[in-house]
Structure 1
């Protein structure tokens, strides 16, 4: 079944794009003015950013650059290729990747490079908590965080297994959390 999902773009009466098709469309300039993602064979256009969303990305980026600039590569809203079937092409709001940064000059980062992926969720909350969670877990990304702007909570998922994470914990404003990779660096959630 997995091999069929990879090679057969027609599933359940719907046409699903392969990663190769998506990349060909992108290289031909079809997405030139849009931020798009390929998730389970479907194209999602990322909408306009609300002020609250933009502010959260700004704060996250600043915090992670201050704390981890010499320990990991910090990539806000840049491509991450997920190769486990079906292949996906996503742009997480923030990703922490293995060093050195020079390796990403000639290739996109992929799931094996990722230490942490963060999505800031307002209008994308349902997709971030379902389809993206499954994709990140399926690709063994060790840690997935959702900054839920609706509840003002940080949802931390760890221990990927199949298409789920075995450990989930929610943090409220003012609570501290540390990454699995860097337990010596607590981050206070604003």
Structure 2
């Protein structure tokens, strides 16, 4: 006997949210599946807050930085909540819907217990959606994995940083200090 898993659509997920089915659950929709989100430890929460503040100081009003807010990826029936989503500053539009891939410059996940999910299912969802850049900040090993140039559902370029500087694809004039995101 073959077992089939029922996949949820974005509309299904939004209806569940609207009627309160998921109100007491920390979940996100990934590739049509409702997935439990790992609770944030104190270090994870503070480092992602500090990272968001640092990026705001560098990027100013060129972007809107959304902290742990949903983004919508229709191509994969996903609505993840990355720790930081650096998006076009379209505040009025985001009152009616979450940012779509075409609105996203890059996303950042801070990972401690979620590293496997962040480097597998989230990586694939972001790449398949064409999000040009994805950074995973590995809190256990104090490294940043920079994933760029999505092709065929994966990122074609990956570098690992422990120090130095990084320049986002969308803003080549901006230099980001790696240590400011790790410490």
CA RMSD of aligned residues (A): 1.4
Q: Deviations over 1:66-92 (max 9, x none)?
A: 1112111111111100011x3111111
Check conservation: 2:8, 2:33, Cα contact below 8 A.
Answer: yes
- Please, which of 118, 124, 127 is the counterpart of residue 128 of structure 1? 118
Moved over 3 A (4+): none
Q: Deviations over 1:81-116 (max 9, x none)?
A: 0011x3111111100111232221222111111000
- Larger relative contact order (Cα-Cα within 8 Å, sequence gap ≥ 6): 2
| SS in structure 2 of the partner of residue 182 of structure 1 | coil
Is there any run of 5+ residues in structure 2 with no aligned partner, and where?
A: none
Q: Structure 1 14/121 Cα, relative in aligned 2: closer, same or farther at 3 Å?
A: same
2:80 match: 90
Counterparts of 1:144 and 1:127, CA distance in 2 = 14
Q: How many residues align?
A: 178
Check conservation: 2:87, 2:104, Cα contact below 8 A.
Answer: yes
- Please, which of 12, 17, 20 is the counterpart of residue 29 of structure 1? 20
TM-score, normalised to structure 2, is 0.92
Q: Which has the higher strand share?
A: 1
Counterparts of 1:149 and 1:170, CA distance in 2 = 13
1:18 match: 9
Q: Structure 1 156/23 Cα, relative in aligned 2: closer, same or farther at 3 Å?
A: same
Check conservation: 2:49, 2:67, Cα contact below 8 A.
Answer: no
Counterparts of 1:113 and 1:35, CA distance in 2 = 25
Q: Structure 1 83/12 Cα, relative in aligned 2: closer, same or farther at 3 Å?
A: farther
1:179 match: 168
What does 1:107-122 correspond to in 2, within 5 Å?
107-122=97-112
| SS in structure 2 of the partner of residue 80 of structure 1 | coil
What does 1:145-164 correspond to in 2, within 5 Å?
145-164=135-154
Q: Structure 1 68/34 Cα, relative in aligned 2: closer, same or farther at 3 Å?
A: farther
Q: Deviations over 1:35-75 (max 9, x none)?
A: 32111121112232111211211111111111112111111
